[in-house]
């Protein structure tokens, strides 16, 4: 496959066709058919995915990769060839060599002779003992505890690699590059470094590519998916996948194919820039990208420029995602209907905690009430709340024994009791340990299509960098001079002033909040403090919270430590990946200057119903959680 384009003569056009293992099956073929791009990327990996692939590898050593990639490629291959599009994916997971071989077989069946390369060196599972004997403690990313303190047996261990292996594979003529655990943004950084001939010292350019990669890595989230302003997004039933046009200096334009659903705006790009980050100094193996220096500029319909992103030397260490089997989990959902709901729930909670105290091998219990029954309901469902019971421990305690005890409540507990679904045997849950490892210990290796191999040196391993090289700071976007806020305060949902995007970072939760209108920025940064966030979200009151301001984006970003316990695979929280945390915050009422609240006809008269539910809190809401633990060996479970 030979592309008609020549690297370095115009901006690189790189698209995305997958944001996770299970994303839209038709996306690769759709993007390949549309053409107009030089490189198509696909992100298939996440912490949860590595655990899934680890279980598959444990059963069959020839597996361990994202099998759906082959189905996607089968449908897209002819279009990729016809349009001269190179393909870069991390679908290799735990077995990049295996997927590369399967890819070559598929390509040959189609009668093509494409050059397939793959990248290894991220999988350190087989080296854990040697690393520890050499003095590498693999400390926890947050707590600093050594891996030896972890009570679980590792199933997978993969270090995050950078993009220069991908760049070398493309430079050597690869049409398809299959990787294991590179960072999500590296899928874009690698092609950009190849296209423009960047070196590891081109920190600003690399940082700009990291920003572009971070925006498009989750596919249609950049074009309106999961966006808090979703009601303004056209054809959100099937939004298009994003494209980044990356210039020589690392600046980029985020766009999408004409005629596809969704939209690319200042807000959809901001949402993705803030997604699942911690502090604005966003660490990658190739560069530290300072996202608080990014400036967004609208260029017309579905085109937003990201510029001014500053970069500094990468960290000496990289993250190693270690997964294991944490134990057994099970749950049951009961309905609470009618009157005396508090008493009914309390009766079940007493039963559950008595079982927890008596059962041998049960470590953690969570009882959550979900929803709020209406007063004088005109349907049975409107007068019903849900009670979710979750347990963790050994299979003997949390498996069928737990389900059987819940079934026994059917004739001996509160009136109207019924369960949603039959009793379950439960399942194993995953444990997650995000560790740090010196980049110099890794063997980042490119297996070229011609049978040769090449080792990639870590980027500036001896330069702890971290500080941005001094230069003139880019100016903030033109700001209106804020008038003194002398207008009266009214109570309104915070969501009428801000957008939000939230997600998981291991056991922590990321919550990015930014203003709809720049005139509200001064109010937001002075009002939404850590103390105010704790007031608005009582679930966070006892947790450590870090707060960062990104004035170029009119945003504040919060990192809430331990909200998800030890991670999405083991948390007892209903919203296991904190995806709806931002929407909960936006639903909370707060005192706001009247002038900042958008005018709406329904506000001026109580007799006018709000359009499409505007300004009304959802009927169902999380209403209360009680948790108990019997073992101090289950970190992150809130008592």
Using one digit for the tens of pLDDT, what is the confidence trace for 56-108?
Answer: 998 998 899 999 999 999 999 999 999 999 999 999 999 999 999 999 999 99
3-class SS letters over 306-351: EECCEEECCCCEEEEEEEEEEEEEEEEEEEEECCCHHHHHHHHHHH
- In contact, 163 and 194? CB cutoff 8 Å: no
pLDDT of residue 468: 53
State how far the Cα of 468 lies from the Cα of 281, in Å rounded to an integer.
Answer: 10
The pLDDT, as a whole number, for residue 195 is 98
* Inter-CA distances, 284 with 46, 94, 164, 166, 469, Å: 16, 20, 12, 15, 17
Considering only CA atoms, which of 66, 131, 41, 62 is closest in space to residue 322?
Answer: 131
Is a pLDDT exceeding 50 seen at residue 236? yes
481-521, pLDDT tens digit by residue?
Answer: 444 455 789 999 999 999 999 999 989 999 999 999 999 99
Distance CA 301, CA 560 (A): 35
Instruction: Return the pLDDT at 239.
Output: 97
pLDDT at residue 29 greater than cutoff 90? yes
- Tens of pLDDT along 449-471? 999 999 999 865 555 444 555 44
- Using DSSP, state whether 222 is helix, strand or coil: helix
> Is residue 534 classed exposed, middle or buried when 0-12, 13-18 and 19+ CB atoms within 10 A define those classes?
middle
Q: Give pLDDT, residue 618.
A: 30
The answer to which of 39-48, 77-86, 170-179, 627-636 has the lowest mean pLDDT is 627-636
pLDDT in tens, 341-389: 999 999 999 999 999 999 999 999 999 999 999 999 999 999 999 999 9
Residue 632: is its pLDDT beyond 50?
no
Give me the pLDDT at residue 488, please.
Answer: 87
Phi, psi angles (nearest 5°) of residue 206: -60, -40
Q: Residue 393: its pLDDT value, please? A: 95
The tens digit of pLDDT for each residue in 390-449 reads: 999 999 999 999 999 999 999 999 999 999 999 999 999 999 999 999 999 999 999 999
Whether the per-residue pLDDT at 621 is higher than 50: the answer is no
Band the pLDDT of 598: cuts 50, 70, 90: confident
Task: Please tell me the predicted confidence (pLDDT) of residue 341.
Answer: 97
pLDDT at 46: 87
Note the pLDDT tens digit of each residue in 519-549. 999 999 999 999 999 999 999 999 999 999 9
Nearest to 206 by CA among 90, 319, 310, 315: 310
Q: Is the pLDDT of residue 211 over 60?
A: yes
Distance CA 402, CA 427 (A): 12
Residues whose CB falls within 8 Å of the CB of residue 270, separated by 6 or more in sequence, listed in order: 296, 499, 514, 553, 554, 555
pLDDT value at residue 220: 97
Q: Do 196 and 108 form a contact (C-beta atoms < 8 A)?
A: no
What six digits make up the tokens of 597?
Answer: 């609240």
| 223-227 LR contacts (CB < 8 Å, sep 24+) | 223/256, 223/260, 223/261, 223/262, 223/263, 223/264, 223/268, 224/261, 224/262, 224/263, 224/268, 225/262, 226/271, 226/501, 226/579, 227/267, 227/268, 227/271, 227/499, 227/501
Among candidate residues 320, 311, 318, 246, the one with its CA nearest the CA of residue 280: 311
The b-or-e profile of 247-265 (16+ CB within 10 A means b, else e) is bbebbbbbbbbeebbbbbb
- Looking at residue 615, its pLDDT comes to 34
The answer to whether 304 touches 266, Cβ cutoff 8 Å, is yes
Q: Report the chain's mean pLDDT, rounded to a whole number.
A: 90
- Does the pLDDT at position 559 exceed 50? yes
Element (H, E) at 536: helix 530-536
- Looking at residue 633, its pLDDT comes to 31
pLDDT of residue 625 exceeding 70, the answer is no
Give 139-175 pLDDT, tens digit per residue.
Answer: 999 899 999 999 999 999 999 999 999 999 999 999 9
pLDDT greater than 60 at residue 473: no
* Percent of the chain at pLDDT exceeding 70: 89
Q: With 90 as the cut, is the pLDDT of residue 10 above it?
A: yes
């Amino acid at each position: 496959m030979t592309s008609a384009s020549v690297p370095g003569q115009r901006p690189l056009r790189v698209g995305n066709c997958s944001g996770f293992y299970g994303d839209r099956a038709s996306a690769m073929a759709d993007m390949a058919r549309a053409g107009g791009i030089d490189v198509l990327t696909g992100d298939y990996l996440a912490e949860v995915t590595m655990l899934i692939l680890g279980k598959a590898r444990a059963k069959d050593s020839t597996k361990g990769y994202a099998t759906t990639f082959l189905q996607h490629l089968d449908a897209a291959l002819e279009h990729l060839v016809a349009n001269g599009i190179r393909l870069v994916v991390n679908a290799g997971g735990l077995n990049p060599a295996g997927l590369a071989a399967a890819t070559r077989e598929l390509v040959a069946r189609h009668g093509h002779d494409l050059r397939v390369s793959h990248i290894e060196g991220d999988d350190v599972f087989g080296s854990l003992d040697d690393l520890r004997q050499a003095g590498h403690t693999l400390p926890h990313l947050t707590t600093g505890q050594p891996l030896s303190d972890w009570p679980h047996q590792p199933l997978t261990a993969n270090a995050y690699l950078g993009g220069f292996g991908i760049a070398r594979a493309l430079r050597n003529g690869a049409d398809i590059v299959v990787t294991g655990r590179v960072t999500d943004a590296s899928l874009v950084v690698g092609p950009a470094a190849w296209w423009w001939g960047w070196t590891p010292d081109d920190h600003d350019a690399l940082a700009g590519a990291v920003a572009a990669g971070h925006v498009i890595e989750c596919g249609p989230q950049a074009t309106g998916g999961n966006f808090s302003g979703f009601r303004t997004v056209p054809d959100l039933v099937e939004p298009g996948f994003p494209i980044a046009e990356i210039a020589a200096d690392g600046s980029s334009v985020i766009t999408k194919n004409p005629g596809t659903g969704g939209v690319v705006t200042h807000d959809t790009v901001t949402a993705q820039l803030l997604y699942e980050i911690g502090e604005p100094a966003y660490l990658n193996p190739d560069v530290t990208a300072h996202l608080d220096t990014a400036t967004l500029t609208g260029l017309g319909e579905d085109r937003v420029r990201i510029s001014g992103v500053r970069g500094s030397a990468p960290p000496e260490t990289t993250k190693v995602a270690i997964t294991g089997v944490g134990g057994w989990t099970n749950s049951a959902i009961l309905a609470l209907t009618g009157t005396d709901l508090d008493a009914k729930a309390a009766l079940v909670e007493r039963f559950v905690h008595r079982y927890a105290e008596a059962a041998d091998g049960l470590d953690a219990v969570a009882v959550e009430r979900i929803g709020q029954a209406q007063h004088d309901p005109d349907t049975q469902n409107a007068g019903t709340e849900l009670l979710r019971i979750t347990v963790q421990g050994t299979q003997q305690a949390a498996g069928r024994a737990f389900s059987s005890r819940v079934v026994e409540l059917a004739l001996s507990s509160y009136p109207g009791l019924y369960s949603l679904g039959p009793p379950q045997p439960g399942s194993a849950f995953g444990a997650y340990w995000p560790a740090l490892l010196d980049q110099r210990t890794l063997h980042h290796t490119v297996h070229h299509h011609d049978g040769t191999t090449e080792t990639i040196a870590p980027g500036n391993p001896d330069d702890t960098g971290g500080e941005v090289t001094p230069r003139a700071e880019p100016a903030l976007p033109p700001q209106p001079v804020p008038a003194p806020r002398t207008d009266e305060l009214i109570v309104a949902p915070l969501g009428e002033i801000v957008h939000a995007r939230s997600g998981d970072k291991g056991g922590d939760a990321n919550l990015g909040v930014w203003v709809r209108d720049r005139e509200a920025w001064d109010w937001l940064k002075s009002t939404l403090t850590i103390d105010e966030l704790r007031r608005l979200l009582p679930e966070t009151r006892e947790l450590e919270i870090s707060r960062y301001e990104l004035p170029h984006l009119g945003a504040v970003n919060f990192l809430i430590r331990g909200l998800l316990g030890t991670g999405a695979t083991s948390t007892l929280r209903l919203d296991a990946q904190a995806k709806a945390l931002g929407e909960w915050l936006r639903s909370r009422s707060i005192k706001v200057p009247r002038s900042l609240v958008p005018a709406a006809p329904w506000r001026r008269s109580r007799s006018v119903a709000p359009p499409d539910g505007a300004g009304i809190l959802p009927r169902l809401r999380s209403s209360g959680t009680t948790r108990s633990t019997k073992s101090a060996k289950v970190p992150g479970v809130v008592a």
